[in-house]
A and B are shown apart, each in its own frame.
Chain A
Amino acid sequence: MIYKVITKKEFKKFVNGLINSNETFGPRQVNTAKDGKPIYQFKEVHSFDEMELDYTLSYSSLKNFFLPFREVLSRYNFTDDNWEQEIEYRVNPRVIVGVRACDINALCKLDDIFVNGSFPSPYYIARRNNTFLIGMDHLPMDDCFCMSMGELVVRQGFNLFCTDLGDRYYLSINSSKAFNFLRNVKTTDPTDKDDRQWLERRNLIKRSFNTTVDTSSLPNLLDIEFDSPIWEKWGDKCLNCGTCAMVCPTCYCYGIEESIDVSLKSSRRERFQHSCTVVDFAEVAGGHNFRPSKEARLKYRYYHHYHGFAENADEQICVGCNRCGRNCLAGINPKDVIDDLLMEKTDEV
């Protein structure tokens, strides 16, 4: 990795250059929540000033840029008694500015599954390779717990990452594309003072966390406590709406649906995001449901996130952004559930 320092003025010039030549997305306020807090989303932007780079966290995660809620995987074109399959991967170069560290780390986890795992997905790779990511650090919100998950620091999966030093950005340059683009603007090598300020900023971020969640023993504890009554307690609250999975940056479970076009001459095979908390997730033909109860489904989501799955080399996939907790209609949030799970055993001792 190469490190440079850029003034915010030059940075604006640089980003405007990217915006003028490419489809660019950045954080923008789209609405105001009931409690008066702004709701941010990544939206297409046409100039630097449209973006609000000091935003907290986008409502939806970055995942949807790579795994859209609904996408056509292939089409079948019918002729008399035959058909032909048509497959095309959509590639539109694009820039996303102001991505938070948790979202970048979440993408790295998705990379493990869709790029490095078995059966690499060309749909995902086409999008990933054509996206230029500019990350940006931020002070955590009250309920963020990415530090507990070890996802505070980005190591890979982005093109450029900016650490805010007041009037300048400390840049981590992670791709030759980014390095070449930066040649068009004025950057300097970090001085000793910059390095010190960088470290101060990192320490400030670390000190600002108000929420910690201990997930270190969860891979085993989730097995041991598989029949724990706490699942019934939390499962009972769950509405099976799937909101948590929709906003989660690493929930990638999906379904495939086919439908015949109105012309009756072709059909579409579509992938759509699904959630393991939705009732029919594990239902098979004939009506048998392998996870018929609410607690079984909610538990399964925690199992996936904190126990880890084979394709992720059994790594926990939660990045601690707490979008699921913040947006849950029934008030279920991972900190409470995990604390409950840990407490239950502690009480009995």
Chain B
Amino acid sequence: MKYKLPKEDINLKPFMSKPPRYNWKDVIMRTDKTYKCEIINIIELTPMEKLFHLKILDPVERDIFSFRPGQFLMLEVPGFGEVPISISSSSNNKEYIALCIRKAGRVTDILHKAKKGAKVGIRGPFGTSFPMEEMIGHNILLIAGGLGLAPLRAPLYWISEHRDEYEDVSLLYGTKDPPSMLFTYEYAEWEKVNHIDLLTIVDQGDDGWTGRTGLITELFKEMTIDPDNTFAIVCGPPIMFKFVCNYLDSIRLPMNRMFVSLERRMHCGMGKCCRCMVGSTFTCVDGPVFDYWSVMNLKEAI
């Protein structure tokens, strides 16, 4: 026994019996433990996108889970896999979490087949958020393309809950065609109740479409942006970032007041697997929300 190595059993440590707190990045926790959730509502937005309302079943875990607009979570469908999804509900909503999910791969396919009452797991929240406090007293320009509206719904909720703190708020939203517009049932509320200027545009109109047609940058012609007093949040497909950010840069909107939310492949959410690496930073830890200065400094970001 003189040379027997003592066994250090990590399974007996106190953290094993506690739910992980993903907001406390520096402490040891069960990094793969999911919070079990029940799907309590499924709203079909388009044939491709559904909005899922998830309720965390354990009251302690529900209490622990708190996020800021712009953050995302890892959604686990046991047996199928895990996907990063941005949170589309109000950060004040303690009852359920809303996730807008497009049918795009193996996990989301099976999720689209799920029925109310099904149990899934989540880990999170992860990542950086939009600086909502810094934006107080300024105009806010939200620009979304396609599914990019989903991550903007959390800041939209925040703005409507603190509407008096912000000046003019506009939302520019562009999609491929009219049927792929998301959250159409909420537009009237955003405009009439929350006093948000909503401008929509589609690439390709259809028979019933009476609105604008063209690229999202067309919308800039209809408005004046005060570069000294505006914050911009941009979210959409990579190609859209390029044109929108170039335009905002050309009117001299300061780079540190322009925020983008990036998308990358992710497997861990915790800065370990390196799948979401952009240049020399992680989308999951240093992002997904980056200011435009950081993006300019990151290789292959946009």
Contacts and interface: CB of A to CB of B under 8 A. Distances in A.
A76 interface: yes
A255 B82 CA distance: 11
Interface stretch (A3-11, A210-218, A301-309, A325-333): A301-309
Nearest to B117: A81
A321 interface: no
Nearest to B13: A122
Interface stretch (A25-33, A56-64, A97-105, A288-296): A288-296
A151 B238 CA distance: 40
A20 B2 CA distance: 10
Nearest to A131: B5
Given A22-B5, A120-B27, 18 more contacts: A21-B1, A87-B30, A118-B270, A119-B25, A120-B26, A120-B31, A122-B30, A125-B10, A254-B268, A254-B274, A255-B275, A256-B82, A259-B79, A282-B275, A284-B265, A286-B105, A300-B277, A308-B280
Given A74-B32, A256-B273, A290 B10 contact: no
Interface centre among B1, B32, B81, B119 (most CB of A within 10 A): B32
B83 A93 contact: no
B285 A310 contact: yes
A134 interface: no
A18 B30 CA distance: 32
A332 B270 CA distance: 31
Given A119-B25, A258-B82, A288-B238, A311 B271 contact: yes
Contacts of A311: 271, 282, 285
Contacts of B79: 76, 78, 258-260, 267
Interface in B88-104: 102, 104
Contact of A121 (B81, B108, B272, B286): B272
A82 B280 CA distance: 41
A256 B272 contact: no
B273 A255 contact: yes
B242 interface: no
B291 interface: no
Contacts of A21: 1-5
Interface string B102-118: 10110010000000011
Interface in A259-300: 259-260, 267, 269, 274, 276, 281-286, 288, 290-291, 296, 300
Contacts of A125: 10, 28
Interface of A: 17-18, 20-22, 73-74, 76, 78, 81-83, 85, 87-89, 91-95, 113-114, 117-122, 125-126, 129-130, 132, 177, 181, 184, 223, 226, 252-260, 267, 269, 274, 276, 281-286, 288, 290-291, 296, 300, 303-304, 307-311, 314
B207 interface: no
Contact of B281 (A114, A283, A309): A309
Contacts of B282: 309-311
B117 A93 contact: no
Interface string B234-256: 00001000000000000000000
Contacts of A85: 33-34, 36, 78, 121
Contacts of A82: 119
B280 A307 contact: yes
Contacts, number: 176
11 contacts: A22-B4, A83-B78, A85-B36, A94-B5, A117-B271, A118-B26, A260-B79, A269-B32, A282-B264, A286-B104, A290-B264
B2 A17 contact: yes
Nearest to B4: A21
A130 B5 contact: yes
Given A120-B28, A125-B28, A184 B2 contact: yes
A94 B15 CA distance: 24
A310 B264 CA distance: 17
B280 A118 contact: no
A255 B266 CA distance: 9
A85 B119 CA distance: 12
B134 interface: no
Given A114-B272, A118-B270, A284-B265, A184 B3 contact: yes
Contact of B264 (A122, A129, A284): A284
B9 to A, nearest CB: 6
B59 interface: no
A314 B297 CA distance: 15
Nearest to B106: A285
A311 B6 CA distance: 31
B7 A253 contact: no
Contacts of B10: 89, 91, 122, 125-126, 129
Q: By CB atoms of chain A within 10 A, which of B3, B10, B31, B102 has the most?
A: B3
A93 B26 contact: no
A87 B111 CA distance: 24
A177 B27 CA distance: 26
Given A118-B271, A285-B105, A93 B5 contact: yes
Contacts of B2: 17, 21, 181, 184
B30 A253 contact: no
Nearest to A280: B265
Contacts of B274: 252-254, 276, 304, 309
A283 B265 contact: yes
A306 B6 CA distance: 38
A113 B272 contact: yes
